[in-house]
Amino acid sequence: MLTFVNRTLSLLVYLAYITTGFTHGGGAVALKLAIGFLLPVACIWFPEPLGDYTGIIRGRAISWLSVIRYWFAVADCATILKEIHGADH
């Protein structure tokens, strides 16, 4: 149930940003917002596959499974940074 609530709320916020961008700036702004917020939404919707990822990042091997909470934190940080960056422009 909690997963459904998280996904529904994240989708509503995502669509609100895109709709607001389209209303105030047109299609180019809506597309820019859609692409910019795709990572945070993906982190919320698919934390298990992202948490199970093992491979190479920055030339170093990852040999452990990351915690799902880490990906929720990445989503939060990406959203906050997007907001900060968007406020300057």
Which of 17, 35, 15, 37 has its CA nearest to residue 25?
17
Assess whether pLDDT exceeds 70 at residue 88. Answer: no
Instruction: Tell whether pTM > 0.85.
Output: no
Give the span between the Cα atoms of 73 and 51, in whole angstroms: 12
* Percentage with pLDDT > 70 across the chain: 69
CA distances from residue 33 to 59, 77, 84 in whole angstroms, order as listed: 30, 16, 13
